[in-house]
Amino acid sequence: MKNKSVLCLAIVGIGAMSAFAVPAIVKYPQDSMFNEFTLEYDPSMVAVTNEDFGGGCQSRFLERRRIMTDLNKDGVDDMILSDPLNCFGTGGGGWFVYFVGDGCWRCIGDVGMNRDAFAFDSVGDEVDLWYYWRSSGCDGTLGYYSFNHEGMKKGCRQISVRFGDDREDSVYGCIYRGIFGYAHNHKYVVEESETSADGTVSWRMVRDWEHPRLKSNIVDLNNEIRELKVEIENERRRADSAESTIRSLTKRLEDSERTQCLIYKERESRQ
């Protein structure tokens, strides 16, 4: 994010980091030009305290989200780490992008986006991160950032979008659904932090990627299974009905044969 205020990440006694010379505070640039920096520890495993962000929350620790995905196509998952979620507005919030490799986390840039409205698209040797930044209930900004083996391309491509009275059928509504309405062709996992009382950070998955063809196949199979279950139940009902009808007809046949036998006996007795 441009003109981002200073964010302070306090190190909260994580034993695994004791071997590194970890700075007590990590400061992010305030000017419009982002300066890369490299850490020798995983910043997502550092607990963020309420005091680091002004002390306006009741919880001692603040939780974040991270997206694990391979942005530079080197076979290793990189990381997009959010600011604390309580700092997010209705439009979205700030995220820092880290290339991961050789025991280092190199922060190559920052992005601003909604925590839910994003999608990845693999294009040649690049990966595009599509995002939506909500300005109001009927307008916002749609765009994407591009990444390759060198890092993040400068700037982002974006357009302002407006949703009409009929949001679903508007041109921008169709574009929005086309981008965010289904899984794309690049794997990712979204996780949310959980910080214990002693400052230990763990992560749980809240969303994962599905390939569009796989997702489509699953939907088709679910529909087919549902239809087959209904058909089987209908056949069972028809079978139960048929069995009841057979029993009824069999009883009538037996009664008729019994009556016939009695009539024959009576005729014989009168002869």
Q: Is the pLDDT of residue 43 over 90?
A: yes
Alpha helices, DSSP H, located in 158-211: 171-180
Residue 97 pLDDT greater than 90, yes or no: yes
Specify the pLDDT at position 86: 85
Contacts of 129 (CB under 8 A, 6+ apart): 71, 80, 111, 113, 118, 119, 120, 144, 145, 146, 147
Rounded Cα distance, 95 and 108, in Å: 11
d(CA 92, CA 113): 5
Residue-wise pLDDT tens digits, 220-255: 677 778 888 888 888 888 888 888 888 888 888 888
- Predicted TM-score (pTM) of the model is 0.64
Q: Could you tell me which residues come within 8 angstroms of residue 172 by beta carbon, excluding any fewer than 6 positions away? A: 142, 161, 162, 163, 164
Query: Which pLDDT value is given to residue 107?
Result: 94
The token duo for 174 is: 């169709």
131-156 residue pLDDT tens: 988 887 778 888 899 999 999 887 67
How high is the pLDDT of residue 26? 42
Give the rounded percent of residues in the chain with a pLDDT score beyond 90: 25
CB 191 within 8 A of CB 45: no
The full set of domain ranges for the chain reads 15-209, 218-271
Q: Range with the lowest mean pLDDT among 27-41, 168-182, 193-207?
A: 27-41
Q: Write down the pLDDT at residue 246.
A: 87
| Count of beta carbons in the 10 Å neighbourhood of residue 242 | 11
The mean predicted confidence, pLDDT, of the chain is 77
Q: How far is CA 115 from CA 88, 89, 158, 200, 270, in A?
A: 8, 10, 18, 23, 98
Banded pLDDT at 1 (limits 50, 70, 90): very low
pLDDT band for 19, please (50, 70, 90 cuts).
very low
Res. 211: pLDDT tops 70:
no
Between CA 106 and CA 5, with CA 84 as vertex, the angle to 5 degrees is 70
